[in-house]
Structure 1
Amino acid sequence: MQVAHWSRVEWDCGRWPHFSAHELACHCCGEMCIWPEALDAIEALRRAPASPLAITSGHRCAIHNARVGGAPLSLHKQLAFDVALAGHDPAQFAHAAHACGFRGFGYGQSFLHLDTRAKPARWFYGNRSKAKWASLGIF
């Protein structure tokens, strides 16, 4: 794992051609964590539906994570992704993310949190999100 300002990380454009370190870096300071397993999974997901992904949050430094109310042990402090669901079928998108190697799923109304934690986990961002995803037959 490599952590540095996005302009100083070693970015493999051949391995992750659809994303940039700048795009996935912390919004407040530019810090970026290179976590190859997570980057490989998001690149595979980008290729799976063959449509762009809008990453609304990637890596977060500890200060930014606290400011946005992130969990103290949030995987965003390494590398996790909040992906906007606009333009995607939510159920198909979630299934594709699972097939691409993601094991952590946070279900929001307009986004899906994805990470490559060691053990599978899922949670909902409120009862409305839970109802939405249940109505899609995800569970």
Structure 2
Amino acid sequence: MLYSSHRLVSRAGWRWPHFRPDELACRCGGRGCRGAYWHDAEFLDALEALRKEMGRPLRINSGHRCAIWNVVVGGVPNSQRRRIAVDIAFGKHDRRAMVAAAERLGFTGIAKSFLHLDRRETPARWTYPGAEDLS
């Protein structure tokens, strides 16, 4: 469900203690939206499960993108971020453990310094020039 602003999301009944709508919302800074946020409870359940399995905070680098922000940052037109997807910094997490946990939870996507997570129907994995081989 798309909210035009993360501020419209009710925190009553919010069951994901390690995440907030604003950190998953578009970060265009008002260029194309007012912090649009795509809510998907199953996605958030899996994200919360990943956080619990890793045992420490996950830093969200990027979440939902409005159409304008997606163009500005060079995203593909049918980007999963037009709905719900996140890029998470590996930070001090063990990369292989994080990727394995994410895949068990139904997420896909790997890059050099972050983990892209979405829940597309057809599993996909990306590596980028210079990405650490995690296969």
TM-score between both structures, scaled by the size of structure 1: 0.86
Structure in which a larger fraction of residues adopt helix: 1
Q: 1:12 to 1:59 in 2, by over 3 A?
A: farther
Question: What secondary structure, in the 3-state scheme, does the structure 2 residue paired with 1:10 have?
Answer: coil
**In the alignment, residue 49 of structure 1 is paired with which amino acid?**
M
Match of 2:19 in 1: 19
Q: Does 1:47 pair with 2:46?
A: no
Contact 1:37 1:116 in 2 (8 A): no
Provide the aligned C-alpha RMSD in A.
1.5
Query: What is the CA-CA distance between 1:13 and the residue it aligns to?
Result: 5.4
**In the alignment, residue 15 of structure 1 is paired with which amino acid?**
R
Contact 2:106 2:119 in 1 (8 A): yes
Query: What is the CA-CA distance between 1:38 and the residue it aligns to?
Result: 1.4
Question: What secondary structure, in the 3-state scheme, does the structure 2 residue paired with 1:66 have?
Answer: helix
Q: 1:120 to 1:30 in 2, by over 3 A?
A: same
Gaps of 5+ in 2: 29-33
Query: What is the CA-CA distance between 1:123 and the residue it aligns to?
Result: 1.2
Match of 2:94 in 1: 89
Q: 1:56 to 1:118 in 2, by over 3 A?
A: same
**In the alignment, residue 68 of structure 1 is paired with which amino acid?**
V
Match of 1:70 in 2: 75
Aligned residues: 130
Moved over 3 A (4+): 10-14
Question: What secondary structure, in the 3-state scheme, does the structure 2 residue paired with 1:48 have?
Answer: helix
Structure in which a larger fraction of residues adopt strand: 1
TM-score between both structures, scaled by the size of structure 2: 0.89
Aligned-pair identity in percent equals 45
Gaps of 5+ in 1: none
